[in-house]
């Protein structure tokens, strides 16, 4: 019984840990958005990055079929969106709010780049806190009053001569950095390499002795076809060694290269060749 | 004369170095795009991130007013876009091509995440090489043949259950990482903090003795307003010290806090108060 209890406890701790870095702790807040297409684009970007909690502060046109069209499969995010009249209400329950800002402000504020913003999101979420990423109007951004309700400002380091990103594009960049930080925090890879049977063979590197057999075979073949003069070899073989040596050749690739040499030799000798079927 | 020549030479070397990490070495290639709005969105994302060279392989609808509308100020990128019939032609002059891929492929290929892709772009550009970021069709991506023309595949680590990003959003993520890598390579900050006269004062941290004066003043004020009982102080002051101690208070902020205390004490004593004008 004691053993059973201990197991239960450890399981619950593991679960709590998992919840601690949940992307559910991150909400995206769009303030006074003009174009419903941008709301849809933002929803799609969020879902692509594994986020789901969308807050809309006084949107000009929502719900909207244009938002659904641009969401392209992320309509569930739109359906679950919380529409509120003020930023204050959108931030209820949040410990940290980050406001995106393209402009220089009179009052300097703690400023993060998107990567730092992703890290802070994960730090906070790891402590069970909720974080809001706040995005302003398409043309005017956030007001000073709104920016001062945010604990941090986030600036996407854009081209100073053309600095204003499309709203959905800005949501994409920040949520991408949240996901990158989340993957790092939860020990998940940022890329998936699927290996199958043939690729296992493919991935297995050739050994030095196999490479030497190949060089010998290659050299003989080059002699056979009249490309290499054994009496005046010049730097041909060292150059080929350098090329293949740095290529990280796999066993499968070696088989292919050796096959080519064998068939070349046969062809030179006038023997019938067999075509490779793959 | 020799001195003059030496100066010229060093100037030219400096110039060459600067060119070496030019974003001009990076081109964006969109293959067989269906929606002109996405071409416009991609152009805007590129210009936001400081890129300018757009190649369009057999676009379905280009030029297009919808592309111009979505480009929103990046029409110059569209005007200068190179339209070609095949991917092969779009890659002429490139040493490295990176193809974006959402799907798992049969043949594993050197795979990068977007951050690594940005680094490789800068490594290559630093050697004067040209790099292509290649993006496929909205619904079908790149074909296997097209992917095999690329040296690397880039996968944006999206939600496995909803992995396909909008085309312009994908361009935004990759070009953002190129810009982040470029800023790092060229020693530029990823965020700009503009400090003015008041903010210089603001940024100057308060000293320990100033903080002690503040705590004494705060304690006295709390006694004055009847919040702190000197005979039963409990943990109030340590808690306030912990709060202010970790806040990294500046001299300007200290002035404000001290002003509040002074005015509070006056108000408690029934003295006339003066309103702060800022």
pLDDT tens track for B209-240: 888 899 999 999 999 888 889 998 888 888 88
Cβ separation of B157 and A190 shorter than 8 Å? Answer: yes
**Domain for residue B207, yes or no?**
yes
Q: Is A248 left (phi over 0), alpha (psi -120 to 50) or beta?
A: left
Distance CA B141, CA B87 (A): 13
Domain of B60? 16-185
* Closest partner CB to B108 (pick from A156, A172, A199): A199
User: Which domain CATH number covers A229?
Assistant: 1.10.8.590
Q: Can you give the pLDDT at residue B140? A: 92
Task: Answer yes or no: are the C-beta atoms of B164 and B37 closer than 8 Å.
Answer: no
Q: pLDDT tens digits for B90-102? A: 999 988 999 998 7
Same domain, A105 and A56: yes
Same domain, B206 and B178: no
Cβ separation of B47 and A72 shorter than 8 Å? Answer: no
Same domain, B30 and B122: yes
Task: Answer yes or no: are the C-beta atoms of B184 and B127 closer than 8 Å.
Answer: no
**Domain for residue B192, yes or no?**
no
**Domain for residue B1, yes or no?**
no
Closest CA to A153 of A185, A115, A117, A118: A117
Q: Can you give the pLDDT at residue A278? A: 44
Same domain, A235 and A162: no
Q: Is the pLDDT higher at B107 or at B275?
A: B107
Q: pLDDT tens digits for B61-83? A: 999 999 999 999 999 999 999 99
Distance CA A3, CA A219 (A): 68
**Domain for residue B160, yes or no?**
yes
Tokens of A168: 């959905």
Q: Is the pLDDT higher at A68 or at B277?
A: A68
List of chain A residues whose C-beta atoms are within 8 Å of the C-beta of residue B180: 113, 115, 157
pLDDT of B58 > 60? The answer is: yes
User: Which domain CATH number covers B38?
Assistant: 3.40.1280.10
Task: Answer yes or no: are the C-beta atoms of B100 and B153 closer than 8 Å.
Answer: yes
CA quadruple A230, A231, A232, A237: dihedral sign: positive
Residues of chain B with pLDDT > 90, as a percent, come to: 54
Q: Can you give the pLDDT at residue A193? A: 56
What is the chain B residue with the closest CA to A104? B194
pLDDT of B194 > 60? The answer is: no
Cβ separation of A108 and B180 shorter than 8 Å? Answer: no
Tokens 């790149």, residue? B142
* Closest partner CB to B159 (pick from A48, A70, A106): A48
Task: Answer yes or no: are the C-beta atoms of A113 and A173 closer than 8 Å.
Answer: no
Residues of chain B with pLDDT > 70, as a percent, come to: 84
Residue where a domain stops, chosen among B136, B161, B185: B185
pLDDT in tens, chain A (278 residues): 333 433 333 333 334 444 458 999 999 999 999 999 999 999 999 999 999 999 999 999 999 999 999 999 999 999 999 999 999 999 999 889 999 987 666 667 889 999 999 999 999 999 889 999 999 999 999 998 899 899 999 999 999 999 999 999 999 999 999 999 999 998 888 876 544 444 444 567 778 788 889 999 999 999 988 888 999 888 888 888 877 877 778 887 888 888 888 888 888 888 765 555 44
Cβ separation of A166 and B115 shorter than 8 Å? Answer: no
CA A174 to chain centre: 12
Q: pLDDT tens digits for B3-22? A: 343 333 333 333 444 445 89
Tokens 């964006």, residue? B28
Same domain, A213 and A163: no
Phi, psi angles (nearest 5°) of residue A258: -65, -40
What is the chain A residue with the closest CA to B73? A162
**Domain for residue A112, yes or no?**
yes
Number of domains chain B is built from: 2
- Cis omega (within 30 of 0) for bond into B197: no
Closest CA to B269 of B231, B236, B223: B223
**Domain for residue A253, yes or no?**
yes
| ipTM greater than 0.85 | no
DSSP state of A207: P
CA A195 to chain centre: 19
Closest CA to B57 of B27, B89, B96, B98: B89
Q: pLDDT tens digits for A25-58? A: 999 999 999 999 999 999 999 999 999 999 999 9
CA angle (B156, B162, B168) in 5-degree steps? 50
DSSP state of B52: -
DSSP state of A265: H
Same domain, A137 and A260: no
Q: Can you give the pLDDT at residue B104? A: 61
What is the chain A residue with the closest CA to B76? A162
**Domain for residue B209, yes or no?**
yes
List of chain A residues whose C-beta atoms are within 8 Å of the C-beta of residue B47: 159, 162
pLDDT of B277 > 70? The answer is: no
Cβ separation of B172 and A194 shorter than 8 Å? Answer: no
Q: pLDDT category, B192, cuts 50, 70, 90?
A: low
Same domain, B237 and B143: no
Q: Can you give the pLDDT at residue A104? A: 61
Mean pLDDT across chain B: 85
List of chain A residues whose C-beta atoms are within 8 Å of the C-beta of residue B41: 166, 169
Same domain, B33 and B158: yes
Phi, psi angles (nearest 5°) of residue A8: -60, -45
Burial code of B108-143, b = ≥16 C-beta within 10 A, e = fewer? beebbbbbbbbbbbbebbeeeebbbbbbbbbeebbe
Cβ separation of A199 and B107 shorter than 8 Å? Answer: yes
Closest CA to B174 of B160, B153, B189: B153
Distances (CA, A) of A168 to A86, A117, A120, A174, B68: 21, 17, 21, 10, 17
**Domain for residue B10, yes or no?**
no
Q: Which helix (H) or strand (E) holds B110?
A: none
* Closest partner CB to B190 (pick from A48, A157, A166): A157
Spell out the alpha helix ranges (H) of B85-137. 87-90, 114-126
Closest CA to B29 of B51, B1, B2, B4: B51
Closest CA to A39 of A78, A88, A84, A72: A78
Same domain, B247 and B115: no
What is the chain B residue with the closest CA to A163? B48
Shortest Cα–Cα distance, A156 to chain B (Å):
8
Closest CA to A103 of A12, A13, A164, A23: A164
List of chain B residues whose C-beta atoms are within 8 Å of the C-beta of residue A201: none
């Amino acid at each position: 019984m004691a053993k059973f209890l201990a197991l239960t406890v450890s399981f619950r701790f593991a679960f709590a840990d998992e919840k601690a870095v949940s992307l559910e702790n991150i909400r995206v807040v769009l303030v006074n958005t003009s174009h419903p297409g941008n709301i849809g684009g933002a929803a799609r970007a969020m879902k692509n990055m594994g986020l789901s909690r969308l807050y809309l502060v006084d949107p000009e046109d929502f719900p909207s079929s244009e938002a659904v069209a641009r969401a392209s499969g992320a309509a569930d995010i739109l359906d679950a969106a919380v529409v509120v009249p003020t930023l204050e209400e959108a931030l209820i329950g949040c410990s940290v709010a980050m406001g995106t800002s393209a402009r220089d402000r009179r009052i300097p504020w703690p400023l993060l780049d998107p990567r730092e913003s992703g890290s802070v999101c994960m730090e906070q979420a790891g402590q069970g806190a909720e974080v809001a990423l706040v995005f302003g109007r398409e043309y005017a951004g956030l007001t000073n009053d709104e920016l001062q309700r945010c604990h941090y400002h986030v600036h996407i380091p854009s081209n100073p001569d053309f600095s204003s990103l499309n709203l959905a594009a800005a949501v994409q960049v920040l949520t991408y950095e949240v996901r990158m930080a989340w993957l790092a925090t939860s020990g998940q890879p940022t890329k998936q390499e699927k290996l199958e049977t043939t690729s296992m063979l493919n991935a297995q590197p050739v050994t030095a002795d196999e490479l030497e057999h190949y060089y010998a075979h290659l050299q003989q073949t080059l002699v056979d076809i009249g490309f290499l003069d054994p009496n005046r070899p010049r730097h041909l073989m060292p150059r080929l060694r350098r090329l293949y040596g740095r290529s990280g050749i796999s066993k499968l690739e070696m088989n292919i290269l050796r096959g080519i040499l064998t068939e070349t030799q046969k062809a030179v000798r006038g023997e019938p060749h067999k075509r490779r079927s793959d």
